[in-house]
Amino acid sequence: MVIKGESRHVAPFRAEVVGSFLRPDSIKEARKLHQSGFLSDDELRDIENDEIKKLVQKQKDAGLQFVTDGEFRRAWWHLDFLEGLDGVTKYEVEEGYHFHDVDTKAETVYVSGKLDFTNHPMLEDFKFLKSIAGDHVAKMTIPSPSMLYMVGALIDSRYNENPVYESNEALRADIVKTYRKAVAAFYDLGCRYLQLDDTSWGVFASKEYRQGYIDQGIDVDELCFDCVNMINDIIGDRPDDLKIGLHVCHGNFRSSWFSSGGYEPVAKILFGNAKVDAFFLEYDTDRNGDFAPLRFIQDQFVVLGLITTKHAELENQDLIIERIKEASQYVDINKLCLSPQCGFASTEEGNLITHEDQWNKLKLVVDSANKVWGNLNLA
């Protein structure tokens, strides 16, 4: 059976990327020189600007209808943004995040004072991207509020030793206020496509991690509702022309993963309640389960992460299209889109693939989307 949907020219797009790209050697070298004091802030930014311009053009040439800055200015997909908030401090820890077969750098953040969003450095980052995007949509990615709540407070030893807030309810209330200011600030700069990246749902869906929370006396479903409610309180009254995506991730560092498990344990709460425009869902391995949890999707789009960024081997396009057809049993074909499962470099280290591999993967995304939904670039 041939499956055919309609092309689409507003976010979310039929051919998507999560956001990050492999850092070029020039940026890696510049960062080393900058950290050693041999390169000024302005000199580093000039090099980053040049490489971001090249990346934006490559994305356009590849057939995308939007562009990102590849997160080229970041070391981490989440910590850099969180550290830029008032009341958040980054610090070194004894051990990094434990992925399946590798550990990250040993650093994290914690809520050290009253939270707020003022003069955040990533506002300038977005302004630059918007200035070079041309007629393409400039997509901004930031960590979900759940990441600040979980990483910066609930599971952080420093925060729990000396909590800044009198209750978790008070903490969540300030997270909402802070993120509402962030969303408004990006919108005022012209951002109309904002993606929230979130690994907490991968943890909540994991049988192993879920049991760990239960053993600590934590009601995981209540925690899930708390996280959904924060998102909704932040974006529920957003302008109609601001599109919000939520990327649900199982971890992506040096081609390894952090958690595994299908979406069934969280699907009813997350898919049934989150007021986002689109869910970006990892479906590149059996570890992510089947499509049955998509039955809880309401009116949101689902961006199927069927193509992996973790290894170079290209997926079979016929099988990709077959899986899209399978997913359309639960979500209408015209509410589906296609992307890699995650970024190519969620941290500055990047996945264990080459730049050529990266662009081959992106070409497969665009070509496959064109086959299913028609030519993406015909208005």
pLDDT of residue 98: 66
State pLDDT tens for residues 247-273.
998 876 666 656 778 999 999 999 999
Segment 126-139 shows an average pLDDT of 98
* Confidence at residue 261, expressed as pLDDT on a 0 to 100 scale: 82
Tell me what percent of the residues of the chain surpass a pLDDT of 90: 80
The string of pLDDT tens digits covering residues 179-223 is: 999 999 999 999 999 999 999 998 899 888 788 888 888 899 999
Task: Tell which residue, 130, 140, 144, has the closest CA to residue 242.
Answer: 140
Domains and CATH numbers, the chain: 54-373 (3.20.20.210)
Give the HSE-up count for residue 53: Cα atoms under 13 Å, Cβ half-sphere: 8
Q: What is the pLDDT of residue 258?
A: 63
pLDDT at 379 over 50: no
Mean pLDDT of the chain: 93
Position with higher pLDDT, 269 vs 94: 269
Angle between helices 41-62 and 122-132 (to 10 degrees): 40
d(CA 67, CA 43) in angstroms, rounded, equals 24
Of 34-48, 213-227, 315-329, 365-379, which range is least confident?
Answer: 365-379
pLDDT of residue 256: 61
| pLDDT reading at 1 higher than 80 | no
Question: SS3 string of the chain?
Answer: CCCCCCCCCCCCCCECCCCCCCCCHHHHHHHHHHHCCCCCHHHHHHHHHHHHHHHHHHHHHHCCCEECCCCCCCCECCHHHHHCCEEEEEEECCCCCECCCCECCCEEEEEEEEEECCCCCHHHHHHHHHHHCCCCEEEEEEECHHHHHHHHHHCCHHHHHCCCCCCHHHHHHHHHHHHHHHHHHHHHCCCCEEEEEECHHHHHHCHHHHHHHHHCCCCHHHHHHHHHHHHHHHHCCCCCCCEEEEEECCCCECCECCCCCCCHHHHHHHHHHCCCCEEEEECCCHHHCCCHHHHHCCCCEEEEEEECCCCCCCCCHHHHHHHHHHHCCCCCHHHEEEEECCCCCCECCCCCCCHHHHHHHHHHHHHHHHHHHCCCCCC
pLDDT digits (tens, 9 = 90+) for 138-192: 999 999 999 999 999 998 889 999 999 999 999 999 999 999 999 999 999 999 9
